[in-house]
Amino acid sequence: MSVSIEQRFPRPSVMGVVNVTPDSFSDGGVNYAPEDAVATARRMHAEGAAIVDVGGESTRPGSEGVSVDEELRRVEPVLEAVGGDVPVSIDTAKAAVARRALELGAELVNDVTALRGDPKLVGVVAEHDAYLCLMHMRGEPRTMQVDPKYDDVVSEVAAFLYERLRFAVGEGVTEDRICLDPGIGFGKTVEHNFELLSRLDVIASLGRPVLVGVSRKSSLGRILGDPEAKTGPLSASLAAAVTAYERGATILRVHDVKEHVEALTVAAAVAR
């Protein structure tokens, strides 16, 4: 019997971010060398991360993609070194990268394209019975922040996630392996992002666990008064994570694991 994603990740669980990239918006380059990424992954696990999300392609606004070979070159040595002792998720939209990661012990595939990027990815997830995160993104990273518009961002994101959930299940992924993510910062203004966080219960009412990645995102810096901010500080990230948890988030994707585990432990004690 496989373990459902709800059982595997009790509310709240922390996902640590390890970007094996030279250009991520949030931690650009600090984990680009495999030995640094491995050390970060081990530290995050020791600090209480339920899983560590390893990615080899930046999706920051304006970024271009990287090739399969380059993405594999970045993530493979990290997965080889930690696979087995640190629970790992692979942040990729590419079937070949996901397949290799799952062979090396990854448990979850985190696809920011919600299975629209590579038609072969859904089959890889189904075949390995992996956990899957489906995220909402409007457009693609290169252009997504160019004047995003919605009539009602929350109902449009919810409808999209519901459609992608039905697609994944129709293609053979077990429903209880799937979580959903509103995609904070992916084709959204500051107002859209805060409305999604504020009405996260609508996304949670789709019946699947909700993952939220708001850590260090530019909307946090902008709400604090800098209209040009590219990132947001830790204090703001913690407030956003705790309030997302209170509105139904299960998994919080974060860069500062220790601080988020501490904040969420307190929030959970209050919620109980």
Minimum CB distance to ligand HH2, residue 60 (Å): 3
Structure tokens belonging to residue 161: 């996630």
In the complex, least distance from residue 215 CB atom to ligand HH2, rounded to whole angstroms: 7
Provide the pairing of β-strand 178-181 with 249-254: unpaired
Q: Does 112 engage in binding with ligand HH2 (CB under 6 A)?
A: yes
CB 166 within 8 A of CB 215: no
Closest by Cα among 66, 81, 71, 3 to 36: 81
Note whether 40 binds ligand HH2 by CB under 6 A: no
Cβ 96 vs Cβ 49: under 8 Å: no
- Closest to ligand HH2 by CB, 24 vs 99, is 24
Nearer to ligand HH2, 12 or 183 (CB): 183
Alpha carbon distance 27, 24 (integer Å): 6
Q: Minimum CB separation from ligand HH2 for residue 53, in Å? A: 7
Give the distance, in angstroms, between the CA of residue 92 and the centroid of all CA atoms in the same chain.
Answer: 10
- The residue count for binding ligand HH2 (CB under 6 A) is 21
User: Is 13 a residue that touches ligand HH2 (CB under 6 A)?
Assistant: no
* H or E element in which residue 250 lies: strand 249-254
Q: Which of 8, 177, 217, 247 is catalytic?
A: 217
- From 71, 118, 181, 259, residue interacting with ligand HH2 (rule: CB under 6 A): 181
Told to check if 221 binds ligand HH2 by CB under 6 A, we report: no
Determine whether 188 is an active site residue.
no
217 catalytic? Reply is yes
**Ramachandran assignment for 178, one of left (phi > 0), alpha (psi -120 to 50 degrees), beta (any other):** beta
- 19 interacts with ligand HH2 by CB under 6 A: yes
State which residue, 83 or 183, has the beta carbon closest to ligand HH2. 183
Of the residues 222, 253, 258, 272, which is catalytic?
Answer: 253
Q: How far is the CB of 76 from ligand HH2 (least distance, A)?
A: 17
Which residue's Cβ lies closest to ligand HH2?
A: 213
185/198 Cα distance (integer angstroms)? 15
Residue from 9, 28, 12, 8 nearest 20 by CA: 28
Contact code string over 43-72 relative to ligand HH2, x by CB under 6 A: ------------x--xxx------------
Of the candidate spans 95-103, 176-184, 230-238, 242-250, the one that interacts with ligand HH2 by CB under 6 A turns out to be 176-184
* Cα distances (angstroms) measured from residue 85 to each of 24, 64, 115: 25, 32, 28
- Are the C-beta atoms of residues 93 and 111 closer than 8 Å to each other? yes
C-alpha to C-alpha distance for 157 and 20, rounded to whole angstroms: 29
The contact set with ligand HH2 (CB under 6 A) reads: 17, 19, 21, 24-26, 55, 58-60, 91, 110, 112, 133, 135, 181, 183-184, 211, 213, 253
Active-site annotation, residues: 217, 253
